[in-house]
Every structure is written in C-alpha cells, then in structure tokens.
Amino acid sequence: MIERIKVSMNMKKKIYDIGGNSYMEFSDIINQLYKFPQAKAKVANVARTIENLVWNDHEVTNAYYDCLTGEIELELNENEYKICPSCGKGYSTYSAISRLDNKTEICPDCGTVEALNEFYKNQK
C-alpha cells in the first residue's frame, strides 16, 4: 500500500530515504508529515521519527522524499495498526478474540496467554 503526500521543501538531493537512520536533514520532512491530521505517533512524547509514525491507522514501513515532485511516498503496512486493550502494545497483525468476553480484539500474544491460562486451569 503506497500513499503520496505533497509537501513543499527546499532540499538539495533528489530522493531521500527517510526510513532507518533519521539524519538531521530528514527532521524537517518528518515534522511536515506529523502536521497532517492523518498522522499519529505510536508512542507519545517520543521524538518524531518515521519509525514512530502511524498514517491513517497504518504503520509506515518505508518513506521516501522526492524533491522533484515535492512528494513524500509512504509505504504502509496493509493491516490496520491497533492498540491491544489488554497489554497496551501496538500491533499490525491479525487480532485474537479475548476469551473473557468473546468479542474484544486483543493482540496475538495476549490471545496466546489467555489460551494457555485456560489450558492450565483445566489441568487442575
């Protein structure tokens, strides 16, 4: 899944890979991205980086800036980024259904823990 965002910047090089190491040059680009209403941080009060950005409820996996077109290209995880209500961690994989109420969506790790707890309870 690819999304393009038009921004206006004055940069020297043509194409920047803004994933991975966040150099000082990229901080201006990243700050522009975080101004959009589609942008959310995975963790609040953490430096604005590409790794910490969720765009339209999808995790950013790669980002490039093309100064010829003035566009940032975001590669997004296909799956929706969700916060597990049980452990509070973010995840982009498929949800598990909580055994406590049979409807709450939780992360796969918590799903495994609940299943194991039930298994050991039945062993007694």
Return the residue of 18, 74, 84, 96 that touches Zn ion, per CB under 5 A: 84
Stretch of 20-28, 31-39, 56-64, 80-88 contacting Zn ion, by CB under 5 A: 80-88
Alpha carbon separation from 12 to 9, 15, 49, 65, 91 (Å, rounded): 10, 9, 21, 11, 36
Q: Among residues 38 and 98, whose Cβ is nearest to Zn ion?
A: 98
**Least distance from Zn ion to the Cβ atom of residue 113, Å:** 8
100 binds Zn ion (CB under 5 A): no
Residues 6+ apart with CB under 8 A from 4: 71, 72, 73, 74
- CB 58, CB 1: distance < 8 Å: yes
Return the residue of 39, 74, 76, 107 that touches Zn ion, per CB under 5 A: 107
87 binds Zn ion (CB under 5 A): yes
Residues 6+ apart with CB under 8 A from 41: 34, 48, 52, 53, 54
The size of the chain, in residues, is 124
81 binds Zn ion (CB under 5 A): no
50 binds Zn ion (CB under 5 A): no
Task: Give the interface with Zn ion as residue ranges (CB under 5 A).
Answer: 84, 86-87, 107, 110
